[in-house]
Amino acid sequence: MPIYEFSHEKILPLHKTTFSEKQLHERRDLQRLLRENISVIAPDTLVIAEEYSEWDSRRRIDLLGVDRNANLVVIELKRTEDGGHMELQAVRYASMVSTMTFDHAVGVFHRYLSDNGKEDIDAEARLLEFLDWEAADHEEFAQDVKIVLASAEFSRELTSSVLWLVDRDIDITCVRLQPYDMDGRVMVDVQQIIPLPEVAEYQVQVREKARRERVARTESSRDHTRFNLKLGGETLGPETKRRSIYLVFRYLVDAGIDPEKIAERCGPRSNRALYSVEGEVSRDDFLRLAQLAAKNGARKFDRTRYYCADDDLIRRNGRTYAFSNQWGGADWADAMSTIKDTFDNHEIDYAAEQ
């Protein structure tokens, strides 16, 4: 159905045009504009990557985002008149990113911010703020992958494929971007065509019910194992995973090992294992100096993510250190195993409570 301009004198139809006729390019124009205004086609989404590819330089996700429920969002854009084969590309990409972890997403987001001149933004803090999480929930992150296809038009072949995927509970949306010419200006009619808006809310409710059931299953199976530690001649525990690795870290520091040397052996989270400020200071001064450092461009400090009670802070070599409390799953196992093997002469051992 055409779009009309209503004036006091008459009603005039706007003339359909194409993005190519208006010399709007897929990546240089559409992608650039939409990444800064992604809510036009994907409400409640945070873009964390552009032209994302870690498997094949020829295959790139136009825009990769995260929604408020911590699901990944694959966004594919086409200025062609029929959408090409974008649904096939998007499904392939969705499968490829489906195993992305929270920490991996933070790294991807950090590169995206740096590439766009936003180095002053802490990627992890911004992502947590968007998700309204106090700390990363590694098991809840990326439980699903959504797909958003945006194009000037969609062929019948493409829409048939998408409807088939929707019927099989694949969360995929088609948004039509129809450009119009209005005295040299480009007006775009943005319409969600799949799923139809009148049934979209019902489908959201069905998916939300499934998500709650999945969360309930995850909670029931979450690993709450506690561990007994043997550190030299002392036995400690049972302790949670996060507390047990902190006690191992503290034990090695007390044995005279440089805190940063230990942090280097903490596996994938080694770059986040420690936060430090200059001077051997109190907790209040530590928090003040960390805040001041962030204002001057250093990595932002979130006190909820570190052991930073006065007795938990570690003061060595003219600096004060806070150790991360964000440990679980494979990250914890990797860090504990590596630390034990690296510092094997310090008699470190641990075992799950029976």
Q: Is the peptide bond before 238 cis (omega within 30 degrees of 0)?
A: yes
At 213 the pLDDT is 67
52, two tokens = 């994302």
Whether the predicted pLDDT of 71 surpasses 70:
yes
pLDDT at res. 217: 59
Distance in angstroms (rounded) separating the CA atoms of residues 260 and 275: 10
Which DSSP string corresponds to 111-173? Answer: HHHHHTT-TTS-HHHHHHHHHT-SS--TTTTTSSEEEEEEES---HHHHHHHHHHHHTT--EE
Decide if pLDDT at 202 tops 60. Answer: no
Task: Give the separation between CA 249 and CA 253, rounded to whole angstroms.
Answer: 6
Return the pLDDT at 200. 55
Please determine, for residue 82, whether its predicted confidence score (pLDDT) is greater than 60: no
Rounded to an integer, the average pLDDT of 206-212 is 63
User: What is the β-pairing status of strands 172-182 and 145-151?
Assistant: parallel
Q: What is the pLDDT of residue 199?
A: 53
Q: Cα separation of 99 and 97, whole Å? A: 5
∠ CA(273), CA(275), CA(277), 5° rounding? 155
Q: What is the mean pLDDT of residues 174-203?
A: 77
What is the β-pairing status of strands 61-67 and 72-78?
antiparallel
| Residue 16, phi then psi, degrees to nearest 5 | -60, 145
Give 39 or 56, the one with higher predicted confidence. Answer: 39
- Determine the distance from the C-alpha atom of residue 141 to the mean position of all C-alpha atoms in its chain, rounded to a whole number: 8
Q: Is the pLDDT of residue 78 over 90?
A: no
- Would the pLDDT of 315 be above 70? yes
Listed residue (61, 74, 80, 43) closest to 179, CA to CA:
80
- Is residue 321 classed as helix, strand or coil in its secondary structure? strand
**Are 87 and 93 within 8 A, CB to CB?**
no
Residue partners of 307: CB distance under 8 A and separation at least 6? 246, 313, 322, 323, 324, 325
pLDDT at residue 318, as a whole number: 94
Mean pLDDT, rounded, for 131-147: 89
More reliable by pLDDT, 263 or 269: 263
pLDDT value at position 223? 64
% residues pLDDT > 90 (the chain): 44
Contact status, residue 105 vs residue 48, Cβ threshold 8 Å: yes
Q: Where are the domains of the chain?
A: 4-220, 227-352
pTM over 0.85: no
Please indicate whether residue 209 or residue 188 has the higher confidence score (pLDDT).
188
Q: What is the pLDDT of residue 219?
A: 53
Mean pLDDT over 162-174 rounds to 86
Q: How many CB atoms lie within 10 A of CB 98?
A: 13
Q: Is the pLDDT of residue 253 over 90?
A: yes
The CATH number of 4-220 is 3.40.1350.10
What pLDDT does residue 229 have? Answer: 94
pLDDT at 57: 60
| Both structure tokens of 54 | 């870690």
pLDDT number for residue 322: 95
The 3-state DSSP class for residue 294 equals helix
- Give the pLDDT score at 29: 75
